Amino acid sequence: MSELIEVIKKLQHLNVSDKTEKKQKLTYLSWTWAWDAVLKNCPNATYEVVKHENGLPYVYDEMTGYMVFTKLTIEGLTHEMWLPVMDGANKAMKSKGYKYSTRFGEKSVEAASMFDINKTIMRCLVKNIAMFGLGLYIYAGEDLPEVEKPTVNDWNGLLKAIAEGKATKKQALEGYTLTKEEVEKINKVELIKK
């Protein structure tokens, strides 16, 4: 048990910030860096992609979508983790694409593919590793409610949100790379609003 405590302390104190990537407002740690850190600190660690009665590495529910599970064992302790298969806007992916409405207009979610499921399994493993302390600080605030933001492709919704004071220019565009022309359009709306 003392070996496990030492490993967890070691993993908790590893700074992996230089290995993370930012996508929109979220921070991600690649599974390769996370697993490498685990193996360097606990070479006997093992993980399992949980397969279900049908032999598949996911469960599926028509209403809620796909869910994957992993198990990680370090020094005799096993933690299980689960993660829904989600698109880039963190919306559940299902067997068929679907649309939903937002204050910025209608959005769509594509059907999940095996690539999406595989990617989620590896993200699930990273969360599983965090349960042992590595990069746990990355997930702080993950349970905060999501604030819906317009996409750059939704110019009408974006401009309307800024004009109506529902979003500042900075809030609405955080994480986007814009052309000079796009920035000029946004600045015109800010001037009209004042």
| pLDDT tens for each residue of 60-118 | 999 999 999 999 999 999 999 999 999 988 899 999 999 999 888 899 999 999 999 99
Q: What is the pLDDT of residues 152-176, one digit of tens each?
A: 456 566 667 777 766 666 655 555 5
- Range with the lowest mean pLDDT among 17-26, 29-38, 43-52, 106-115? 17-26
Q: What is the pTM (predicted TM-score) of this model?
A: 0.71
Of residues 6 and 142, more confidence is placed in: 6
DSSP string, 82-141: EEE-B-TTSPBP-SS-EEEEETTEEEEEPPP-HHHHHHHHHHHHHHHHHTTTTTGGGGTT
Of residues 99 and 143, more confidence is placed in: 99
Using the CB atoms, write b or e for 51-76: b if 16+ within 10 Å.
eeeeeebbbbeeeebbbbbbebbbbe
- CB contact at 8 A, 103 and 161: yes
d(CA 32, CA 11): 15
Residue 150: predicted pLDDT: 47
Fold type of domain 2-139: Enolase-like; domain 1 (3.30.390)
3-state SS class at 88: coil
pLDDT-above-90 percentage for the chain = 51
Of residues 27 and 62, more confidence is placed in: 62
Count Cα atoms within 13 angstroms, Cβ side, for 110: 8
Alpha carbon 102 to chain centroid, angstroms: 20
Which residues of the chain does CATH 3.30.390.80 include?
Answer: 2-139
Q: Place 54 in a pLDDT band, splitting at 50, 70 and 90.
A: very high
Residue 138: predicted pLDDT: 85
Of residues 183 and 15, more confidence is placed in: 15
Residue 17: predicted pLDDT: 86
pLDDT at 194 exceeding the cut of 60:
no
